[in-house]
Structure 1
Amino acid sequence: MRLPLAFLLGIVLSCQPLQAQPQPQSLNWAIVPMPGIFNVEGGQPVSGALYEATQLIDAQMPEVQVRYQVMSLLRMRQSLRKQLQLCSNGLLQTPARDKQGYFIPYLLSTPMHLLVRQPTLNQLLLENGEVSLDWLFANPYLRGAIATARQYPDDISAQLIKARDSGTLQEMTGSLSGENLLLMVSYHRLDYAFDYPMAYSEVASNYTLSDPLISVPLKESKELLPVGVYCPRTPWGLEMAKRIDQAVREATRNNQAFMALHQRWLPAEVYTRFTPQLLRFYEGRSATALSFE
């Protein structure tokens, strides 16, 4: 008896091993809460300049399943050192981190400022509207502090650490996002702290302040600094870094979307001052693929 051809084909196909379906890629963004940068509610980011920028990047990776892990800066550093399968978002580039991960910049940060009350401002020696750290630390009657939870840019970090080690500056723990120092300045428990203008704007909008704070540029901190992502130096990290870099280039082609988030989160005078540099960065970023070693 001759069996129908369709029946025979069905038997043959049913005997073939099933091929595994490709699993969707997943990406864990490790983030540290920070006012105006990553605003967190209920353990998840809800707003902030870097959160909005990350969403623009996520939109260019529809095949990647994204989730956010909120953690302290210390835990983020440990995760990168242990080469865990996540990408640390919102970090400044440093030589030490470059040894542990692949860096993908996607946004420019404005310089860190000094935050003071009006009476303290009247005591500062200002030159062209700026205060020098050398002058500040030579006047120890002014009480200042840095936050354990906050990362400080390379152009001032060495001086801050030296002042901390000499006892001129206090180093304080407290809130995970470090805004407690700004509140302490407002309530006269400190005379000054260091922070980014957009962070203070967010604190001023969402907390009750005793005295308003004034943002004073630092003589030693004038450069816009790239902020980005570190993925671990593993095969997974390399592939994810390449995919994120591609998404960043695609997202920054619409540089007006990035400029709009700067305008929303920065004080107006700071945004106006740095607009040309911000535009040049995003135009260059969209046109340049990174080379990972």
Structure 2
Amino acid sequence: MRQLCYVLLLFSPVMAMAQNVMTWLMTDLPPASIRVAGLPSDGITDQQIAYIRAHWPEVEHRVAYANLKRSWALLEAGQQACYSFTLITPQRLERAYIVPTSVLPPPQLIFRRDALPSLPLNAQHEVDLERLLAQRQLRGLLSEKRSFGLTIDHALQQRSAQALLEVTPVGSLGENIFARLLVNRTDYTIDYDFVYAYYLKRDPMLRELLTLPIAGNAAPIRVGFACPRTAWGKATALKISSILATREGVQMLRQSTERWLSPESRQRYSDALEAFYHARENPALGLTPP
């Protein structure tokens, strides 16, 4: 088997056009992908790509780290590469062939334990985000340039200028913000369950924090591999999907993702998880003609 070549700079167009090369555009967001000494290790997509590589030895697999904007620009330019971790939305399904790989809980509120009595909750014990942003007791802190889906993003954009919510360029991966919660420099943030789980493994003190779902944002999200809407992209997406559409492949997808979910999230979204992994054995799942 050819040895995997990890590339830390974006590939050249000539390299990308090689028929025997599969280039993966990787995100630098733990634990979606966890870089150790500049190389992929045991993150969600790291494990998924390692599995695909082992079952597709006819090509040379290369990895290039690129941000979201750059990755989508390459896909829309028709480069022969696939992006490893994209949220699946109707808009993105029009722009790429997407192979579903995981179901994840939606973003949730992560907060200090002593903030619980002041949180505005509905009858389902979900946080009313608009009321939270309107009240003056609790301080929020978010990373800039993060998207949390249409419902949450709209509420954040419509908040009052007097809202006690700070948006910061630091802590883009959660670590600094979670640390600020622990030392009472803020009361809450919004992030994904799997991101919080990653930092919890690094710092057990984060167990002092609590999480709750956000009202109107209870639907789980789907993520997957995105390939360009070209003949090459369609063939590649079908090849990847066929490799994953086995009992062994589905079990790998489940294991790579669910180890980063809290027990509460696994229980809360158990029906959605079971339905997704049952459907995942279909090689054409999610793939539609351009």
Rounded to whole Å, the distance in 1 between the matches of 2:145 and 2:74 is: 15
* 2:214 equivalent to 1:222: no
- Partner amino acid, structure 2, of 1:41: V
- Asked whether the equivalents of residues 26 and 64 of structure 2 are also in contact (C-alpha less than 8 Å), the reply is yes
Structure 2 CA distance for partners of 1:63 and 1:259, relative to 1, 3 Å: same
How much identity, in percent, do the aligned residues show?
A: 27
Alignment partner, residue 179 of structure 2: 183
Alignment partner, residue 34 of structure 2: 39
| Alignment match of 2:131 (pick from 135, 140, 158) | 135
Rounded to whole Å, the distance in 1 between the matches of 2:22 and 2:202 is: 31
Structure 2 CA distance for partners of 1:140 and 1:89, relative to 1, 3 Å: farther
Rounded to whole Å, the distance in 2 between the matches of 1:266 and 1:282 is: 15
Alignment partner, residue 104 of structure 1: 99
TM-superposed deviation, 1:282: 1.3
- Partner amino acid, structure 2, of 1:72: N
TM-superposed deviation, 1:117: 0.8
Structure 2 CA distance for partners of 1:178 and 1:167, relative to 1, 3 Å: farther
* 2:288 equivalent to 1:291: yes
- Partner amino acid, structure 1, of 2:104: S
RMSD (CA atoms): 2.8
* 2:253 equivalent to 1:266: no
Gaps of 5+ in 2: 1-17
* 2:113 equivalent to 1:118: yes
* 2:229 equivalent to 1:233: yes
- Asked whether the equivalents of residues 25 and 81 of structure 2 are also in contact (C-alpha less than 8 Å), the reply is yes
- Partner amino acid, structure 2, of 1:291: T
CA radius of gyration, larger in: 1
Rounded to whole Å, the distance in 1 between the matches of 2:171 and 2:76 is: 24
- Asked whether the equivalents of residues 143 and 190 of structure 1 are also in contact (C-alpha less than 8 Å), the reply is yes
Alignment partner, residue 243 of structure 1: 239
Gaps of 5+ in 1: 1-22
Rounded to whole Å, the distance in 2 between the matches of 1:106 and 1:210 is: 28
TM-superposed deviation, 1:116: 0.6
- Asked whether the equivalents of residues 24 and 65 of structure 1 are also in contact (C-alpha less than 8 Å), the reply is no
Q: In structure 2, the residue corresponding to 1:194 is in which secondary structure?
A: strand
TM-superposed deviation, 1:184: 2.8
Moved more, 257-266 or 83-92: 257-266
- Partner amino acid, structure 1, of 2:288: S
Structure 2 CA distance for partners of 1:214 and 1:159, relative to 1, 3 Å: same
Q: TM-score, normalised by structure 1?
A: 0.79
Rounded to whole Å, the distance in 2 between the matches of 1:272 and 1:257 is: 19
Q: In structure 2, the residue corresponding to 1:131 is in which secondary structure?
A: coil
Q: In structure 2, the residue corresponding to 1:47 is in which secondary structure?
A: coil
Moved more, 33-42 or 202-211: 202-211
Moved more, 256-265 or 122-131: 256-265
Q: In structure 2, the residue corresponding to 1:292 is in which secondary structure?
A: coil
| Alignment match of 1:277 (pick from 251, 258, 272) | 272
Rounded to whole Å, the distance in 2 between the matches of 1:116 and 1:54 is: 34
Rounded to whole Å, the distance in 1 between the matches of 2:208 and 2:194 is: 15
Structure 2 CA distance for partners of 1:210 and 1:275, relative to 1, 3 Å: closer
